[in-house]
Amino acid sequence: MGKRLLCGCEDVSVEEVRRAWAAGHRDLESVKRFTGFGTGPCQGKSCLALVTRELLRLGATPGELAPFTARPPREPVALGALAGLDPGTLPVGHEGIPPDAPPRRPGPDGLRPLPSRADVVVVGGGVLGLSLAYELARRGTTDVLVLEQAYLNAGASGRNGGGVRAQWSTPTMIRLARRSLELCRRFAVDMGINVWFRPGGYLFLAPTAEQVARLEQNARLHAEHGLRTRVLDRAQALEIVPHLDPSRFLAASHNPDDGVVFPWPFLWGYAGKAEALGVQVRTFTRVTGFRRAGAALTHVETDRGAVACGAVVNAAGAWSKGVAALAGVATPNRPTRHEILVTEPLEPWLDPLVSLLGSGLYFSQSQRGELVGGMGDPAEPEGVSQGSSLRFLARFAGAITRLAPRTAGVKVLRQWAGCYDVTPDNNPILGPAGFGNFFQLHGLVGHGFMMAPALAELYADLLTGRGRDELFDRFPLSRFERGGAAREDFIIG
Ligand SMILES: Cc1cc2nc3c(=O)[nH]c(=O)nc-3n(C[C@H](O)[C@H](O)[C@H](O)COP(=O)(O)OP(=O)(O)OC[C@H]3O[C@@H](n4cnc5c(N)ncnc54)[C@H](O)[C@@H]3O)c2cc1C
């Protein structure tokens, strides 16, 4: 029998929706991510009702099938048309932006019970929390509970560009990123899930003499660490990406071993393997407070009851400041929205992820042919917001069509946003704070995805007494009492 299609744009069949259900995905946001339904040009207009009907048939309750957040633009629109808008006339910040619909929690049938106690409770089921849970379990600490307030991939880990690069400007970042790249290359085999790792390299474009000098300095450091980074003149850069306007930059740097992954299966891979080793992951469970006795946290309170704990890890990303505050611990994190978009698929034309230094612009081409790109906005105010703006579309479209005029005819399919978890020195906050058993794992700004695999190994070593990397002495919360660490400033976006 032929396959019965529910989503024509993305070729999603009834069987795939059933597989998603069998894998534990009940809410529409999760089923959308697992199958890809509703992410094509029609944005769910033709398939949402069909998938909803199938999930109801399988046993979902009407309450948990609230439609997923509709993503702008309402219909595909060319970058060239958007580039004609003047960003200066469009509202800055979160003004007038409808927030994402709050995720609907499955009914009691869809929720697994909470254990009464766990040796380690991890707050936050993003890439940092899940990778740590997996690495702890691999080291024999399996009584680990991960609590996630929404579905997996609801936070920045499900909303990012998937870029993984070793082209950094400090030995520490190079060391972590190289290890992460190594783990990314093996991820599909080790974790049994395809993360579409594409080692197309990163191409940094330097539009000023000062930035050229910076790339040259970085390249010398990279050579010392065995990276294959080369500084290129304009003609050499055009050999790698022929459609760039060479008047927009002076020189470039390229490391062919950097790459891009598809974030969603990365999280499912970590969660699935961690659970197979004994970790418990509970979605739709929000941490609401802590109980303490003397210098220790004794219980984690949630909207589904309390859990006694040996240790607690705060891996709540942009929400980590709020989670720390629940324990009375103040952190200097500044969550800041960062927007991103995807276009219609094109024939293959772009190998590396391209980043234009100084502008915040970056873009890559996915294995399915879409351009995926984002751009930071210096005017963005602090705050957790995952809504999308027209100002971003105008700014991004202007920047990319100036740099690669060929993109003017390419249509934007979908935009979305997540938050960078920014600290004053752009470095993470690691180790215990406030209580001897309250561990911090946040403040990864715009590079937490690529650092997570390597950082999780080191963190698990620390928590299981296997070793203490120098990172934990350099990046405790207490460093801010002394003015912070040396600022990390080779950040994209
Ligand atoms: C648009 C964009 C592009 C990016 N591009 C890249 C890139 O190319 N490469 C890269 O390396 N990084 C990139 N980043 C950064 C990267 O996504 C983050 O650094 C990383 O995902 C952080 O992971 P996390 O686990 O700390 O946070 P999250 O993924 O946000 O996870 C935290 C989780 O905690 C949950 N939570 C919060 N409060 C509670 C509570 N009270 N109880 C229970 N759960 C709670 C949240 O729901 C969330 O799922 C990008 C980020 C954005 C927004």
Q: Does 329 map to a domain?
A: yes
pLDDT band at residue 342, thresholds of 50, 70 and 90? very high
Q: Does 302 map to a domain?
A: yes
* Residues 16 and 153 placed together within one structural domain of the fold: no
Domain that holds residue 122: 108-159+264-333+425-482
pLDDT at 1: 57
Q: What is the mean pLDDT of residues 379-392?
A: 93
Among 37, 68, 99, the domain-final residue is 68
pLDDT at 99: 67
Q: Does 31 map to a domain?
A: yes
**Pocket of ligand 1, beta carbon within 6 A:** 123-129, 147-150, 154-157, 159-163, 286-287, 315-319, 323, 338, 340, 374, 418-420, 442, 444, 446-450
Q: What is the mean pLDDT of residues 60-79?
A: 83
Q: What is the mean pLDDT of the chain?
A: 94
* Residues 10 and 144 placed together within one structural domain of the fold: no
Q: Does 134 map to a domain?
A: yes
**Statement: residue 215 has pLDDT above 60:** yes
pLDDT at 103: 72
* Residues 312 and 434 placed together within one structural domain of the fold: yes
Q: Which of 337, 348, 424 lies closest to 379 in space, CA to CA?
A: 337
Note the Cα 403 to chain centre separation in Å.
25
Q: Does 365 map to a domain?
A: no
Ranges of beta strands (E only) in 126-193 are 144-147, 163-164
Q: What is the CATH number of the domain that holds 471?
A: 3.50.50.60
Q: What is the mean pLDDT of residues 91-107?
A: 73
pLDDT at 96: 65
Q: What is the mean pLDDT of residues 37-46?
A: 83
Q: What is the pLDDT of residues 252-300, one digit of tens each?
A: 999 999 999 999 999 999 999 999 999 999 999 999 999 999 999 999 9
* Residues 62 and 112 placed together within one structural domain of the fold: no
pLDDT at 258: 97
* Residues 271 and 148 placed together within one structural domain of the fold: yes
Among 15, 46, 68, the domain-final residue is 68
Q: Does 46 map to a domain?
A: yes
Q: Does 80 map to a domain?
A: no
pLDDT at 61: 81
pLDDT at 421: 97
User: Are the C-beta atoms of residues 393 and 342 closer than 8 Å to each other?
Assistant: no
pLDDT at 39: 85
- Ligand 1 atom nearest 444 alpha carbon: 19
* Residues 154 and 298 placed together within one structural domain of the fold: yes
Compute the CA torsion angle 115, 117, 122, 125 (nearest 10 deg): 0
User: Are the C-beta atoms of residues 337 and 380 closer than 8 Å to each other?
Assistant: yes
pLDDT band at residue 91, thresholds of 50, 70 and 90? confident
Among 46, 68, 90, the domain-final residue is 68
* Residues 37 and 152 placed together within one structural domain of the fold: no
Residue nearest to atom 52 of ligand 1 (CA): 160
Number of domains in the chain: 2
* Residues with Cβ within 8 Å of residue 475, at least 6 apart in sequence: 427, 428, 429, 430, 431, 485
Q: What percent of the chain has pLDDT over 70?
A: 98
Q: What is the pLDDT of residues 233-247, one digit of tens each?
A: 999 999 999 999 999
Q: Does 370 map to a domain?
A: no
**Statement: residue 375 has pLDDT above 90:** yes
pLDDT at 62: 77
Q: What percent of the chain has pLDDT over 90?
A: 83
Q: Ligand 1, residues 149, 176, 354, 361: which to mutate, most atoms within 8 A of Cβ?
A: 149
* Residues 152 and 14 placed together within one structural domain of the fold: no
Residue nearest to atom 33 of ligand 1 (CA): 124
Residue nearest to atom 37 of ligand 1 (CA): 316
* Residues 155 and 9 placed together within one structural domain of the fold: no
Q: Which of 463, 462, 441, 475 lies closest to 173 in space, CA to CA?
A: 475
Cα radius of gyration (the chain): 22
pLDDT band at residue 107, thresholds of 50, 70 and 90? confident
- Look up the pTM and report it: 0.95
Structure tokens, 232 = 């290129």
* Residues 61 and 116 placed together within one structural domain of the fold: no
Residue indicated by tokens 């929400």: 319
Phi and psi torsions of 416, nearest 5°: -155, -175
* Residues 326 and 429 placed together within one structural domain of the fold: yes
* Residues 112 and 64 placed together within one structural domain of the fold: no
Centre of ligand 1 to C-alpha 419, Å, is 7
Phi and psi torsions of 79, nearest 5°: -60, -35
pLDDT band at residue 227, thresholds of 50, 70 and 90? very high
Q: What is the CATH number of the domain that holds 17?
A: 1.10.10
